[in-house]
């Protein structure tokens, strides 16, 4: 009986592992620069036509984690759908100014834990401006399945900084995420935890290293 239970658990674990391995295609579609596009689902990778983005600096894109098909992409100000069209409510985000488009990172996209089809689109402004870090919720069930920014969940304030640094790492346990930034000027890293309930109210501050006086540049 013990052998039977152990075997059953092993098979269940193996199936779950296969599912995790299979669903790792969210980063296979890149959109960037002046109409730049790469599809890493092909071998060799291809360059899809029609990409609408035109930015000298930050951008973000995401694909379906199972199929690898493009879902949407952004320069931090506009969100385009898989057909390279702006989402109906996908203009006027806060990841820079439309003229300069000069935020190093501009935006990151984070899947909402345990909510397939919902994504947090987090923007970070140029250091010369004052919009800081804000987030919007993209719901892929809207706009006939092409997705749209939820009107009541757009450009919500998260943190005041003139840094252009933004990064995302998985949290322990593999379900939640940490959103990281840095103050400017200063020597403090700021971390926000994203769970299935959204961004937690408390932040984690880590003061170390030299004082940063220039908000531009990446955080890795």
How do the pLDDT tens digits run along the chain, 220 residues long? 333 433 333 333 333 333 344 458 999 999 999 999 999 999 999 999 999 999 999 999 999 999 999 999 999 999 999 999 999 999 999 999 999 999 999 999 999 999 999 999 999 999 999 899 999 999 999 999 999 999 999 999 999 999 999 999 999 999 999 999 999 999 999 999 999 999 999 999 999 999 999 999 999 8
129 Cβ partners below 8 Å, 6+ apart? Answer: 96, 97, 162
- Asked, for residue 16, whether it belongs to a domain, the answer is no
Within-domain flag for 69: yes
Is 97 a member of any domain? yes
Structure tokens at 3: 């052998």
Between CA 95 and CA 101 the distance in angstroms is 8
Question: What is the DSSP secondary structure assignment for residue 68, as one 8-state letter?
Answer: -
In a domain, 8, yes or no: no
pTM of the model: 0.89
Please give the Cα distance from 147 to 79 (Å, whole number): 10
CA 198, 185, 95, 165: dihedral to nearest 10 degrees? -70
pLDDT of residue 15: 35
- 145: three-class secondary structure by DSSP: helix
CA 66 remoteness from chain centre: 17
Judge whether 33 lies within some domain. Answer: yes
Q: Which residues of 176-189 are buried (b: 16+ CB within 10 A; e: fewer)?
A: bbbbbbbbbeeebb
Residue 179 lies in a domain: yes
Please give the tally of structural domains in the chain. Answer: 1
- What range defines the domain where residue 143 resides? 25-212
Helices (H), 54-105: none
Would you state the pLDDT for residue 6? 38
At residue 8, the 3 state secondary structure works out as helix
Residue 2 in any domain: the answer is: no
The answer to whether position 107 is within a domain reads yes
């Amino acid at each position: 009986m013990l052998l039977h239970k152990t075997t059953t658990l092993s098979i269940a674990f193996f199936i779950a592992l296969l599912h995790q391995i299979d669903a790792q295609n969210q980063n296979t579609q890149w959109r960037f620069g002046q109409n730049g596009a790469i599809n890493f689902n092909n071998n060799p990778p291809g360059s899809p036509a029609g990409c609408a983005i035109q930015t000298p600096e930050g951008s973000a894109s995401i694909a379906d984690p199972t199929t690898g098909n493009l879902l949407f992409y952004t320069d931090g100000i506009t969100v385009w759908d898989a057909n390279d069209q702006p989402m109906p409510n996908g203009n006027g985000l806060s990841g820079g100014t439309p003229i300069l488009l000069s935020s190093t990172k501009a935006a990151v996209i984070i899947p909402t834990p345990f909510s397939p089809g919902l994504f947090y689109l987090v923007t970070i402004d140029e250091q010369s401006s004052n919009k800081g870090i804000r987030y919007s919720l993209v719901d892929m069930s809207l706009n006939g399945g092409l997705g749209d920014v939820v009107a009541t969940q757009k450009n919500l304030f998260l943190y005041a900084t003139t840094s252009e640094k933004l990064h995302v790492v998985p949290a322990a346990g593999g379900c939640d995420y940490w959103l990281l930034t840095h103050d400017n000027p200063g020597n403090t890293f700021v971390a926000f935890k994203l769970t299935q309930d959204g961004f937690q109210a408390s932040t984690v501050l880590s003061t170390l290293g030299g004082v940063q006086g220039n908000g531009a540049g990446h955080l890795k």
